[in-house]
Chains A and B, each alone.
Chain A
């Protein structure tokens, strides 16, 4: 199985773990939260295209994730209409939606074979 097929599964796993640790598992919470916010949103959005090497993919994913975290958190604190943690749930939904679309699309193309 190639990294392209593993990638959405890893993103879903980290996302679900980050969500679960908001309600329990306090020991895992910092690691899950940091990994999710610093890698997953960007990796999910960039999953739609093939960027090149794994290093490029990882670096651009982290940069985009950091930027999205800054922007979503920035809008939250400038408007003040939602609690801070709403930003996390918003990013989580976006990440899972993008990943789901990619998984469904790939499944559709390959006829379900992986």
Chain B
């Protein structure tokens, strides 16, 4: 007996020593990451994006971080600051690396968002009836706030800070998720494991400088505030507790009023910034209300009224035009799903691999969560206890979006994003339940193995498309030269819309993308680019006309099947030879053409 006690003490001491290991490993991870950065040359990005470009030291840092987290989370008394350090370092590894290595804002959509901020900085107002990109003018909250930030900080454009969007929003989400998870579950180890799983599987990339990134943080904050101060004590918590643990027993009247004010402010900000997030917020709160985790039924109804009011009154010009399509797509689940899934047979071999990795990761996370729910139901029902239906429904509520709209072919991605925190929580629950009471090394090995598999999928899914998302300095320069030269009312023809576009004076120009033309028109242009471009660009409805072709346009259209392989390069060579065209900017990565003589008019 005494011998057994000594052995247990020795084991406990050894585990305590191992638990201290991550304090040493974390600085090493930071050093390895720092060493990796100078070795990343984005000009050499291949068809698998950063996956094949990241140096071995980066992957060593990642493996060490996963191993260190597995040890830290399985140690007898996980240290909060240490676990936080792992997550912050993970965010730095994945989200600060592009910001530090690229030197220019990534994602073409982010450039368009900078363009809306530029519009507000110049005019001081939005124009809800504007013809181009009017959806942003009808939901202006994020852009207005960015413009106010730019003006107050003394920046001329949001370009000065937009590159750091992913780091900023992921850190905000980390805080909101921490508060939310702590309000929902009692087990601190489960909280941190779920947080880890959220960040290592969040591949959708909606964390850049965008309204949806801001609205997502506010959505998580709304749920956190509701779970903290409006949770019904009759509700069950995931880990045996009968009450939501971190909340004061009876919030004072002052706290309730403050929480109500906070919730309404958060929801009003969401409603004025993004179209989809208010719907998901109301659905999630509905799920909480239905299953007794939320006392504020009236709040849920009020939020639904606020969301509809913004759609009908705040975004009237947009609503009038789109209401027909909204009604038509409602209930058409099959079409909405089809709109999201691209046909992988059109993709290049590498991009097919990226699509498969993303789909496998999505299904893997959902499958783990499903098993976690089954385990929970089995455990609760066998002892005649009430399962946590509220938390189960939170994970499922965003799927109702499928009945609404294809959302520009993105609805499945958005569903994954909104379900992810709760799916991760159930997946973490499964892992904890399966390894509870097992030996220390078995728990560490299980956590590390799962993390490694998920990280492999995440790295490919998240970094696999960087060839499209990265813009070289010469591509940025080409766009600058073009927008500086183009007078108001010019036509901008682009191979594809994927380049630094519409970020300056965007309302003055008409943009036409060859890759988005109807098939017959696209084919005509590719068969005879010189004659067709001459005809388009000599149209006297426009003050002047420019054609921009870039490497990033090629990367976004050819491997994805929008244009045949080699077609943009062929067009570039043909136009460079044609005497009717003059290149006002030319580099390996980009070229901007204009007509030498626009007096030879053509027809549109």
| Interface residue ranges, A against B (CB under 8 Å) | 18, 21-22, 26, 29-30, 33-34, 36-37, 42, 45-46, 48-53, 55-56, 58-60, 62-64, 66-74, 76-80, 83-85, 87-88
Asked if A73 and B176 make an inter-chain contact with CB atoms under 8 angstroms apart, the answer reads: no
Decide: B153 and A63 in contact? CB cutoff 8 A: no
In the bound complex, residues from chain A placing their C-beta under 8 Å from that of B269 are: 66-68, 70-71, 74
Q: A49-B258, A52-B248 are in contact. Are A71 and B153 (CB under 8 A)?
A: no
Q: Is the CB of A84 within 8 A of B120?
A: yes
Contact, CB under 8 Å: B254 / A64: no
Please tell me which stretch of B45-53, B141-149, B448-456 contacts chain A, meaning at least 4 of its Cβ atoms lie within 8 angstroms of it.
B141-149
A77 touches B125 (CB 8 A): yes
Interface on B for A, CB 8 Å cutoff? 120-121, 124-126, 140-145, 147-149, 151-155, 160-161, 172, 175-176, 178-179, 214, 217-218, 221, 224-225, 228, 246-248, 252, 254-255, 258, 261-262, 265-266, 268-269, 272-273
Q: Are B144 and A76 in contact (CB under 8 A)?
A: yes
> A70-B142, A71-B269 are contacts. A62–B124 as well, Cβ < 8 Å?
no
- A-B pairs with beta carbons under 8 Å apart, 13 shown: A29-B153, A30-B161, A33-B153, A45-B261, A59-B178, A69-B148, A70-B214, A74-B141, A74-B145, A77-B120, A79-B125, A80-B124, A88-B151
B152 neighbours in A (Cβ, 8 Å) = 18, 22, 33, 36-37, 85, 88
The CA-CA distance from A68 to B266 in the complex, in Å, is 8
Closest residue on chain B to residue A82 by CB atoms: B124
6 closest cross-chain pairs (CB), A and B: A80-B125, A63-B221, A73-B144, A67-B269, A33-B152, A33-B153
Q: Judging by beta carbons under 8 Å apart, are A45 and B247 in contact?
A: no
Contacts of B225 in A (CB 8 A): 60, 63
Q: Using Cβ atoms and an 8 Å threshold, which residues of chain A touch B161?
A: 30
Q: How far apart are A109's CB and chain B's nearest CB, in angstroms?
A: 15
Contacts of A67 in B (CB 8 A): 218, 262, 265-266, 268-269
Q: Are A34 and B153 in contact, CB atoms less than 8 angstroms apart?
A: yes
Contact between B254 and A78 (Cβ–Cβ < 8 Å)?
no
CB neighbours of B155 from chain A (8 A): 30
Task: Given A29-B154, A78-B126, decide whether A70 and B144 contact each other with a Cβ distance below 8 A.
Answer: yes
Q: Specify which chain A residues have a CB less than 8 angstroms from the CB of B153 in the assembled complex.
A: 29-30, 33-34
A6 to B252, CA, bound (A): 23
User: A27's closest neighbor in chain B, by CB?
Assistant: B154
Smallest CB gap from A64: residue in B? B262
Structural contact, B268 and A71, CB atoms closer than 8 A: yes
When the two chains form the complex, which single residue of A51, A55, A77, A80 contacts B178, counting CB atoms closer than 8 Å?
A: A55
Contact A74–B255 (Cβ < 8 Å): no
User: Is B145's CB under 8 angstroms from A73's CB?
Assistant: yes
Please report the C-alpha to C-alpha distance between residue A50 and residue B253 in the assembled complex, in whole angstroms. 11
Dominant secondary structure at the A interface: helix
Whether B120 contacts A60 by the Cβ 8 Å rule is no
In the assembly, what is the distance between CA of A85 and CA of B150, in Å? Answer: 10
Q: Which residues of A contact B217 (CB under 8 A)?
A: 63, 66
User: B228: which A residues are within 8 A, CB to CB?
Assistant: 52, 56
Q: A79: which B residues are within 8 A, CB to CB? A: 125
> Contact: A74 with B272, CB < 8 Å?
yes
Residues of B with C-beta under 8 A to A78:
125-126, 140
Q: Is the CB of A58 within 8 A of B246?
A: no
Using A59-B224, A77-B126 as known contacts, say yes or no to A70 and B247 having CB atoms under 8 A apart: no
Measured CA separation A81–B161 after assembly (Å): 27
Chain B's closest residue to A47 (CB) is: B258
Assess A46 versus B141: contact at CB under 8 Å? Given A60-B179, A71-B265, A71-B272. no
The answer to whether residues A73 and B147 also contact, given A58-B175, A59-B176, A63-B217 and a CB cut-off of 8 A, is: yes
Decide if A70 touches B141 in the complex (CB within 8 Å). Answer: yes
Interchain CB contact under 8 A, A83 and B221: no
A3 to chain B, nearest CB (A): 17
> Do A46 and B258 contact each other (CB < 8 Å), given the known contacts A59-B224, A74-B144?
yes
B171–chain A nearest beta-carbon distance, Å: 10
In the bound complex, do residue A69 and residue B154 qualify as a contact, i.e. CB atoms below 8 Å apart? Answer: no
Closest to B224 in A: A59
Q: B residues within 8 A CB of A33? A: 149, 152-154
Q: Which residue of chain B is the closest to A34 with respect to CB atoms?
A: B153
Please name all residues of chain B whose beta carbon is closer than 8 Å to the beta carbon of A72 when the two chains form the complex.
148
Contact A62 B172 (CB under 8 A): yes
**Bound Cα distance A79, B178 (Å):** 37
Q: Which of A26, A30, A48, A84 has the most CB of B within 10 A?
A: A84
A77 and B147 contact, CB distance less than 8 A: yes
- Whether A63 and B176, one on each chain, are in contact in the complex, defined by CB atoms closer than 8 angstroms, is yes
- In the complex, which residues of chain A have a beta carbon less than 8 angstroms from the beta carbon of B254? 48-49
**Judging by beta carbons under 8 Å apart, are A59 and B175 in contact?**
yes
In the complex, besides A56-B246, A66-B218, A77-B143, 5 extra interface pairs with C-beta distance below 8 angstroms are: A30-B160, A34-B153, A59-B221, A66-B269, A74-B144
Partner of A64, one of B147, B252, B265: B265
Do A63 and B151 touch (CB < 8 A)? no
**Chain B residues in 8 Å Cβ range of A50:** 255
Q: In the bound complex, do residue B149 and residue A37 qualify as a contact, i.e. CB atoms below 8 Å apart?
A: yes
Question: Cα distance A48–B254 when bound, in Å?
Answer: 8
Give complex CA distance A38, B228 in Å: 22
**Once bound together, how far apart are the Cα atoms of A67 and B126, in whole Å?**
19
Residues of B within 8 A of A60 (CB): 179, 221, 224-225, 262
CA distance in complex: A87, B228 (Å)? 30
